[in-house]
């Protein structure tokens, strides 16, 4: 049995999902990026419900030179200044939508990129949307998961803690050990250990060598929080 199918077999078949309340979210981007590992993304569609466990995130805290917000507010990033728990969606390189969760108090721009999900419910709908039956190609990677979950700019600024079609939830399913490493595909602040993932989960994206323990290094100001 493949690692992907093993992961899905070990996921709960019947589980209760409770909506995350904004008051439960840590009021710090890096802490929230770690907190979100194991939480659930839900998209209720006319054709059915899609759910997936968050298994990989990247933090883009205030003042981060790799973030869209580094040079100040623009109309494109307006939603990054909303209260934590809102969606920030952008179109990357004219190819993929990217699903982010706003992470600081209203008025302070910062966000967390959701990089990978472990698909739980609505897998056939995801396969149809992604035009593949290979499980690891459904939601492993930010562009893939946005396509599988049909997330686009229509949801930019949406409150993910409210009673809407796209929302964040939690279950009692245990979370595995959480690792941290460098972020992917950036050139500024590329050495920051601001990417979090569930160790051993086959749906974690990116080169596997980046998941190896990093050499000992002095913590940056971003990581010392």
Q: What is the pLDDT of residue 215?
A: 56
pLDDT grade, residue 222 (50/70/90)? low
Give the integer Cα–Cα distance in Å for 74 and 69: 8
Question: Cα-flanking dihedrals φ and ψ of residue 91, to 5°?
Answer: -100, 120
Higher pLDDT, 208 or 4: 208
Please say if the pLDDT value at position 1 is more than 50.
no
Q: Is 61 in contact with 222 (CB distance < 8 Å)?
A: yes
pTM of the prediction?
Answer: 0.89
58: helix, strand or coil:
strand
In 3-state terms, the chain is what percent helix, strand and coil (to 5)? 20, 25, 50
Local confidence band at 225 (pLDDT 50, 70, 90 cut-offs)? low
Q: What is the pLDDT of residue 92?
A: 85
CATH, domain range 3-8+19-207:
3.10.300.10
Mean pLDDT of 116-145: 97
- Domain positions in the chain are 3-8+19-207
Tens of pLDDT along 73-108? Answer: 898 899 999 999 999 999 987 789 999 999 999 999
pLDDT in tens, 161-207: 999 999 999 999 999 999 999 999 999 999 999 999 999 999 999 88
């Amino acid at each position: 049995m493949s690692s992907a199918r093993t992961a899905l077999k070990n996921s709960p078949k019947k589980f209760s999902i409770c909506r995350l309340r904004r008051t439960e979210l840590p009021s710090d981007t890096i802490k929230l990026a770690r907190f979100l590992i194991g939480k659930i993304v839900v998209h209720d569609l006319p054709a059915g419900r899609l759910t997936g466990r968050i298994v990989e995130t990247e933090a883009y805290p205030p003042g981060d030179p790799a973030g869209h917000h580094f040079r100040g507010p623009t109309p494109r990033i307006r939603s990054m200044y909303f209260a934590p728990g809102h969606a920030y969606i952008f179109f990357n390189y004219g190819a993929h939508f990217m699903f982010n969760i706003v992470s600081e108090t209203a008025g302070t721009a910062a966000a967390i990129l959701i990089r990978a999900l472990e698909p739980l419910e609505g897998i056939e709908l995801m396969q149809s949307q992604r035009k593949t039956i290979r499980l690891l190609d459904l939601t492993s990677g930010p562009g893939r998961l946005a396509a599988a979950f049909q997330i686009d700019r229509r949801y930019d600024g949406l409150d993910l803690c409210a009673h809407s079609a796209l929302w964040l939830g939690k279950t009692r399913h245990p979370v595995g050990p959480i690792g941290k490493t460098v972020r992917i595909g950036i050139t500024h602040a590329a050495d920051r250990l601001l990417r979090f993932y569930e160790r051993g989960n086959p749906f974690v994206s990116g080169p596997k060598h980046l998941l190896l323990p990093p050499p000992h290094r002095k913590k940056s100001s971003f990581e010392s929080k």
